[in-house]
Amino acid sequence: MTGQAVPIAPPTPGRWRAAARARRSPLLLLGGAIVSVSLVLAVVGPAIAPYDPIEPTGDVLVPPPALGDIPSLIAQTIGGSLERPVHWFGTDQTGLDIFSRVLAAPQVDVLIGVAATALALLLGTTLGLLAGYFRGRSAGFIARASDVFQSIPIFVLAMIVVVFTGRSTMAIIVTLAILYTPIYLRLTASEVAAQAARRHVEASRAIGNRELVTAFRHVLPNALTPALVQASVTIGWAILFTAGLTFLGAGVRPPTAEWGGMIASGANLLILGQWWPSLFPGIAISITVFGFAVVGDRLEARFRG
Amino acid sequence: MTGYALRRLGVGVLQLAAITVLVFVVMRFLPADPVGRLVGFTASPETIALTRDKLDLDESLPDQLLIYLGLREGDQSPGLLQGSLGDSWNTGAPVVDQIAQYLPVTLELIILAFVAALLVAVPLGVLAAVRGSGRLDAGIRFYGLFAGAQPEFWWGLAFIFLFYVTWQVAPAPLGRLDFLTAPPPRVTGMLTVDSLLAGNLAAFRDAAAHLVLPVVTLAFVLTGPIIKMVRQNVAKAMASEYVLYARGCGLPTRQIAAYTFRNSLAPSVTLIAILFAYMLGGAVLVEQVFSLGGLGQWAVASVLSFDFPAIQGIVLVITVGTLLVLLAVDLLHARIDPRVAR
């Protein structure tokens, strides 16, 4: 804060710096671990699941094992003395193994989040670069467009597009990408406008580089930070959005393993006291989105001061 | 000031027209088949042709738009300019009536949720900013991050499991009143308000009891972003020179915080207004979990059944609501800071 002495850290070799930072921010470490696990599961989740996530096991509505039995069950699993894998999280009303489905779901939820964010990042930074660099010609239009966009009922429009195009994974990715593009456009445009006034940009122009070369090679790399920092947060939002849409029956189709859909199919059982079908996918969303939010928040604090 | 308000209102009407046309065109371009959904996929070609004709879907796109706007006669007339939003293709009921039924439910839910969220989040945000970089600040930030990243529909279910199924202190999540409670005469459509107007305390207690869990659920996830906004804006104000000066003069932190609070209010209000507007449609998950029967739930049902007039009406009412909220905030700003209006 202003007026207080800020201690200046002695310079440290790069290798140690990362470790030192992580130690100072256990929260970032936690978030990073959550993000890493979810990204790994998005790739290998279905492969390491003990059961096929969309194939009924024949055991209907089996509750998870009692807490006291878990150590011996783990020992037996490791020892290989069990006939079939344990239903760690129980099974649902159609006999699907919930543990396997929770592990497999990132291949839908996290993948959609990452793909939608990557697409929005690509579109938003490109448009933002052009908008910020050629500010004079585009400022009015962008202000007008973002005004209109601000008053669009986003949730309803996203639902219309996803449902009307057949509720495919691709439809959700593209819809979310379009939804999040303006965020990146705005972040990049304002950063580009600040960068474009700098000397090295002037120098690039002075030696005869074309405007677009200057914009992409000398302005964009310096203006990407705010957009990249935002990416983690957006992935979390996209996961929440996907799960919410599917919970409402307007997202990916059953029996695809997807956290929101799993919660929806377990919701009616909850009243009957059968809590496990909706508990575990909910915890998975809660932890995953929190992880992405933490990483985004910590990166933001680091780069924006 | 009046000129500014009128100018903003004019821009708002243009935005509304743009969004109405956009949604109208988008719905008809996407590969959805409302006729098949209505008459079934085994219907005879004659039935299908008849239905298409009745819904004006056999007209060209510009003609359909003109009919909807009320500039041309069609089977779906009267149109917007005659003050009609058309009839739902699902139920046949006028869309206007359905809006009047569902909108107050959502408004009641989100107004109460915002009041609850603000009561918790604003003091926490200010406290975190004023105490800056202590353990308290870290704790509040952690809570805000957590709350802002939660699936509210799952928390709603968790609350139902704890308070209704396990401890049986909350009413069943099956609507806004018990089956045995007679609803108060309809005035605003908000049960808590109507029951008070009718002096019916039993109905008020029942309606309020049914709202506790939904409001808490929604307020919980809303506290996340609100804490973040308030904290950032107050922290920015706390770093300004007049605060340094006030500190130099030896004013107590409490008094300085009061100064900064007023100055950091304006940017926070805008963001909270945007959040409120989003919730007009975004509260759908909580409505669904507690079967409240609000605007969002109606939107889901209409979208899933390709009910074009209903969807169009929902988009219209949410857009109008959003524009009104944003207009009110802009006028408030112009009031606080006359430079804005110029």
pLDDT at residue A2 greater than cutoff 50: no
Query: Is A124 in contact with A62 (CB distance < 8 Å)?
Result: no
Contact B289 A156 (CB under 8 A): no
Count: domains in chain A:
1
Residue in B157, B209, B156, B200 with CA at minimum distance from that of residue B178 = B209
Contact assignment for B285 to A297 by CB distance below 8 Å:
no
Q: Verify whether the Cβ–Cβ distance A163 to B319 is below 8 Å.
A: no
Average pLDDT, chain A: 84
pLDDT over 90 at A281, yes or no: yes
Residue of A nearest to B278 (CA): A153
**Distance from the Cα of residue B246 to its chain's centroid:** 40
Is A302 a residue whose pLDDT tops 70? Answer: yes
Average pLDDT over residues A78-86: 81
Query: Does the pLDDT value for residue B132 go beyond 50?
Result: yes
Q: For residue B87, what is the DSSP state?
A: B
Task: Please indicate whether residue A18 or residue A192 has the higher confidence score (pLDDT).
Answer: A192
- Give the minimum alpha-carbon distance from B198 to chain A in angstroms, rounded to a whole number: 33
Q: Is residue A152 part of a domain?
A: no
Residue B30 has pLDDT above 80, yes or no: yes
pLDDT digits (tens, 9 = 90+) for B212-224: 999 999 999 999 9
- Does the pLDDT of residue A13 top 60, yes or no? no
The residue of A248, A262, A272, A274 whose CB has the most chain B CBs within 10 angstroms, and thus the best one to mutate to test that interface, is A248
Chain B CB contacts of A304 under 8 Å are: none
Residue A122 lies in a domain: yes
Per-residue pLDDT tens over the stretch B237-248: 888 888 889 888
At B109-130, the pLDDT tens digits run: 999 999 999 999 999 998 888 8
Here the ipTM equals: 0.90
Average pLDDT of A160-182?
A: 91
Out of B32, B141, B274, whose CB is closest to A150? B274
Q: Looking at the predicted structure, is the pLDDT value of residue A305 above 80?
A: no
Of A1, A157, A244, the CB nearest to B153: A244
Sequence-ordered list of residues with C-beta below 8 angstroms from that of B36, at least 6 positions apart, any chain: B43, B48
Q: Is residue A239 part of a domain?
A: yes
DSSP string, B201-221: HHHHHHHHHHHHHHHHHHHHH
pLDDT tier, A138 (very low <50, low <70, confident <90, very high otherwise)? low
Q: Is the dihedral of CA A146, A152, A154, A157 positive or negative?
A: negative
- Strand, helix or coil at B230? helix
> If you average pLDDT over every residue of chain B, what do you get?
88
Q: Taking a C-beta distance cutoff of 8 angstroms, is the pair B237, B130 a contact?
A: no
Interface of B with A in 162-201 (CB under 8 A): 164-165
Whether the predicted pLDDT of A1 surpasses 50: no
Residue of A nearest to B165 (CA): A271
Contact B165 A166 (CB under 8 A): no
Flag whether residue B19 sits within 8 Å of chain A, measured between CB atoms.
yes
Strand partners, B95: none
How far does the CA of residue B43 sit from the closest CA of chain A (Å)? 21
Neighbour count for residue B247 (Cβ, 10 Å): 16
Please report which confidence band the pLDDT of residue B264 belongs to, taking 50, 70 and 90 as the band edges.
confident
CA distance A219 to A129: 8
- Looking at the complex, report in whole angstroms how far the Cα of residue B114 sits from the nearest Cα belonging to chain A: 19
In this structure, chain B runs to a length of 342
Flag if A271 and B149 touch (Cβ within 8 Å): no
More confident site: B314 or A25: B314
pLDDT tens track for A239-280: 999 999 999 999 898 889 999 999 999 998 888 888 888 999
Q: What is the percent of chain A where pLDDT is above 70?
A: 89
Tell me the CA distances in angstroms from A140 to A38, A125, A147, one per residue in order. 41, 18, 11
- CB distance A163–B314 less than 8 Å? no
Residue tagged 């409402």 (tokens): A248
Q: Which residues of B touch A258 (CB under 8 A)?
A: none
Total CB pairs under 8 A between chain A and B: 145
Predicted local confidence at residue A218, as pLDDT: 78
Q: B149, A286: Cβ pair inside 8 Å?
A: yes
CB-neighbour burial class of residue B81 (10 A; exposed 0-12, middle 13-18, buried 19+): exposed
The number of residues in chain A equals 305
User: Among A13-17, A150-154, A205-209, which is the least confidently predicted range?
Assistant: A13-17
| Interface touch A1/B238, C-beta < 8 Å | yes
CATH match of B96-307 with 3.40.50.410: no
Pick the most confident of A56-65, A250-259, B328-337.
A250-259
Closest to B303 (Cβ–Cβ): which among A150, A250, A286?
Answer: A250
Q: Look at residue A139 in the predicted model and tell me its pLDDT.
A: 67
Rounded to whole angstroms, the Cα distance separating B79 from B224 reads 42
pLDDT of residue A18: 58
pLDDT above 80: residue A237 = yes
Residue A199, in any domain of the structure: no
In a domain, A287, yes or no: yes
**Maximal CA-CA distance, chain B:** 86
For residue A69, is it within any domain? no
Is B234 in the A-facing interface, judged by CB distances under 8 Å? no
**Residue span of the structural domain in which A275 resides:** 103-126+162-183+223-304
Q: Select the residue of B15, B241, B300 nearest A159 (Cβ to Cβ).
A: B300
DSSP per-residue string spanning A7-41? PPPPP--HHHHHHHHHHH-HHHHHHHHHHHHHHHH
Give the model's confidence band at B303: pLDDT under 50 very low, under 70 low, under 90 confident, else very high: very high
Instruction: Kindly indicate the confidence band of residue B57, based on its pLDDT and cuts at 50, 70 and 90.
Output: confident
Candidate from B22, B160, B281 with C-beta closest to A270? B160
Is A29 inside any structural domain?
A: no
Task: Provide the shortest C-alpha distance from residue A136 to chain B (in Å).
Answer: 21
- Nearest residue to B211 via CA among B282, B99, B292, B118: B292
What does the pLDDT read at residue B59? 85
Contacts of A281 in chain B (CB under 8 A): 154
Average pLDDT score over residue span A136-146: 70
Rounded Cα distance between A125 and A109, Å, is 24
| A155 found inside a domain | no
Which has more pLDDT, B81 or A41? A41
Report the pLDDT value the prediction gives residue A12, as an integer from 0 to 100.
Answer: 52
Substitution target in A27, A34, A164, A300 with the highest count of B β-carbons within 10 Å is A164
- Mean pLDDT value across residues B253-280: 82
| Chain A residue with minimum CA distance to B152 | A244
Q: What is the pLDDT of residue B299?
A: 93
Q: Chain B residues with CB inside 8 Å of A279's CB? A: 158
pLDDT digits (tens, 9 = 90+) for B137-182: 889 989 999 999 999 999 999 999 999 999 989 898 888 888 888 8
The pLDDT assigned to B41 comes to: 77
Domain ranges (residues) in chain B: 96-307
Over 80: is that where the pLDDT of B9 sits? yes
What is the mean pLDDT of the segment spanning B35-61? 84
